[in-house]
Amino acid sequence: MSLFSGMRGKDKTFRAKKHIPERTHQHRLQKYAEVTLGSGNLKLAVQLPEGEDSQEWLAVHTYDFYNQINMLYGIITEYCTPQRCPVMSAGARVEYRWQDNKQYKKPTTVSAPHYVDLLMNWIQGQLEDNDVFPSQLGAPFPKNFSSIVKTIFKRLFRVYAHIYCHHLEAIQQLNAEPHLNTSFKHFMYFVYEFKLMDKSEMQPLAEKITNVLGDEYVLT
């Protein structure tokens, strides 16, 4: 079951969807995740299945959220332009600068669409690197895998934050707000379950997190 069923009229993506290689353990885990997601209990769906490896589970959901956010951003690309969004931000007080230690060795101000493009390209490179996201069962994950995943999720959160803070009206006009909220709720349950972000990083959407997840998720 897809979180985006019913979005047929606007299901374009910002980048090509990334697929986990078939006939791999991660692909089977992905199918299991889809089934549990279909139960409608997002909080339960993010929990690690009994007997499974947590790194495999993190890898599967990194693919999933990359694709979800890719689709959500894809529907508002005509609204998110360098002219309208010259800075990648979440409101007037929060700016996100890009750094990859290669082309951008220092945090650099870029437009929102350029930031998202750089981000998706960077994540795609991580997903396609078999030394980082091994597809064979039993193949070792790198020692810094947890750190890599946390960086990916921290940066993906910024796309949600930009959409909510700057493009919510467009999302509402496209009747896509329920899909955005469901995707964000799924994402945040997963973040909390595996402690992937610091509370300070969530502050731009503190009120939205409480509204979507409930009062037990108040950021202090």
The binding site for Zn(2+) comprises: 80, 85, 162, 167
User: 39-60 burial by CB neighbour count: b if 16+ within 10 A, else e?
Assistant: eeebeebbeeeeeebebbbbbb
Torsion of CA 63, 65, 67, 73, to 10 degrees: -150
Note whether 91 and 83 are within 8 A (CB): no
Binding site feature residues: 80, 85, 162, 167
Provide the CA 10 distance to its chain's centre, in angstroms: 19
Give the N- to C-terminal CA distance of the chain in Å, as an integer.
35
Contact 196, 190 (CB under 8 A): yes
Query: What is the secondary structure of 190-205 as a DSSP string?
Result: HHHHHT-S-HHHHGGG
Are the CB atoms for 145 and 139 separated by under 8 Å? no
Alpha-carbon distance 37 to 46, whole Å? Answer: 8
How far apart CA 197 and CA 74 sit, in angstroms, is 24
C-alpha closest to that of 76 among 200, 160, 185: 160
